[in-house]
């Protein structure tokens, strides 16, 4: 049973990692915790639901949702956060703004699409099979594989491309990057688009995994993904992946051995324990002072 729980946790953990990367990307560039990210994730899942309902088909619906959700991320930055940066507002103002944006997105989803839980297309279910006494579901394999490939693609974009080099330059010193001719605002917009796109994919995968979509679906998952990002060391891409896997496996083990009641608490207990031992997270760097 232990191996079964671990495999279940790894599949969910990769999806947490995909959402956690969005937190890390924005934090790395702006030193800001984007608390609207969970609602962006819910928005992405709902857009797939809407596009599939309009007979786009699942894959075209996901593609359209990725673009639309990425643009939502850019719009949040342009409309709500960029004006605060221009006025050199205190960091807590941006933090509170992202919380407000989160509730606005949630409420708009409720107004236009309803607050009830809606059935989501189960496009990842191709059956299940047994390997050495362990049951593997096709939905778990697809969830893990797609998340893994996307995380590799994100890593390549950040570490092997020109825009990735610009992102790392802005992360190190935005003023120096600007003096070197880098369009800092364009880099920030691209970062929000990347975070929104990854959240949309994670939203589609998780909605298909549970076959449900609802406006508040991003609240708890967003908190867990944020915990994963902090656990790995927020701002560190591979740290978010490790953090997501730790949270996913911990949650699965807690559900298996202690029951579903303790499922959600377990992830935060392990987070608190690790932060007491290592306050910067598993791979975090010292000297981060702003939020």
- DSSP string covering the chain, please? -HHHHHHHHHHHHHHHHHHHHHHHHHHHHHS---TTHHHHHHHHHHHHHHHHHTT--HHHHHHHHHHHHHHHHHHHIIIIIHHHHHTT--HHHHHHHHHHHHHHHHHHHHHHH-SS-EE---TT---EEEETTEEEEHHHHHHHHHHHHHHHHHHHHHHHSHHHHHHHHHHH-HHHHHHTT--HHHHHHHHHHHHHHHHHHHHHHHHHHHTEE-TTHHHHHHHHHHHHHHHH-TT-HHHHHHHHHHHHHHHHHHHHHT-GGGHHHHHHHHHHHHHHH-TT-SS--TT----
Q: 0.95 cut: is pTM over it?
A: no
Residue 171 corresponds to which tokens in the numbers above? Answer: 């992360």
Quick one: pLDDT at residue 291?
A: 45
In angstroms, the CA 47 to CA 118 distance is 13
Query: pLDDT per position in the chain (291 positions), as tens?
Result: 788 999 989 989 988 998 998 898 898 888 888 999 999 999 999 999 999 999 998 999 999 999 999 999 999 999 999 999 899 888 899 999 999 999 999 999 999 999 999 999 888 888 888 887 888 889 889 989 998 898 899 889 988 999 999 998 998 888 899 998 899 999 999 999 999 999 999 999 999 999 999 999 999 998 899 888 888 888 788 888 899 999 999 999 988 888 878 888 887 888 788 778 888 888 876 655 544
263 Cβ contact partners less than 8 Å away, ≥ 6 residues apart: 251, 254, 255
Task: For residue 238, give the nearest of 155, 172, 118, 131 by alpha carbon.
Answer: 155
């Amino acid at each position: 049973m232990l191996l079964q729980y671990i495999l279940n946790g790894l599949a969910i953990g990769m999806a947490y990692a995909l959402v956690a990367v969005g937190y890390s990307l924005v934090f790395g560039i702006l030193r800001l915790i984007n608390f609207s990210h969970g609602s962006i994730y819910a928005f992405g899942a709902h857009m797939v639901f809407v596009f599939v309902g309009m007979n786009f088909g699942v894959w075209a619906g996901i593609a359209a949702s990725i673009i639309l959700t990425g643009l939502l991320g850019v719009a949040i930055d342009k409309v709500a956060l960029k004006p605060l940066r221009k006025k050199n507002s205190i960091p807590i103002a941006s933090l509170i703004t992202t919380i407000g944006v989160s509730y606005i997105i949630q409420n708009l989803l409720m107004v236009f699409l309803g607050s009830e839980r809606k059935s989501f297309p189960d496009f990842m279910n191709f059956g299940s099979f047994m390997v050495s006494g362990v049951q593997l579901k096709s939905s778990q394999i697809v969830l893990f594989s797609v998340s893994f490939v996307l995380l590799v693609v994100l890593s390549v974009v950040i570490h092997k491309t020109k825009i990735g080099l610009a992102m790392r330059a802005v992360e190190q010193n935005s003023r120096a990057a600007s003096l070197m001719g880098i369009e800092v605002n364009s880099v920030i917009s691209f970062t929000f688009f990347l975070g929104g796109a990854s959240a949309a994919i994670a939203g589609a995968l998780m909605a298909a995994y549970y076959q449900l979509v609802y406006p508040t679906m991003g609240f708890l998952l967003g908190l867990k993904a944020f915990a994963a990002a902090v656990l790995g060391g927020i701002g560190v891409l591979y740290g978010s992946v490790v953090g997501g896997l730790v949270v996913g496996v911990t949650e699965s083990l807690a559900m298996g051995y202690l029951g579903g009641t303790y499922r959600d608490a377990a992830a935060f207990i392990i987070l608190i324990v690790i932060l007491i031992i290592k306050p910067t997270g598993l791979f975090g760097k010292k000297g981060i002072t702003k939020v």
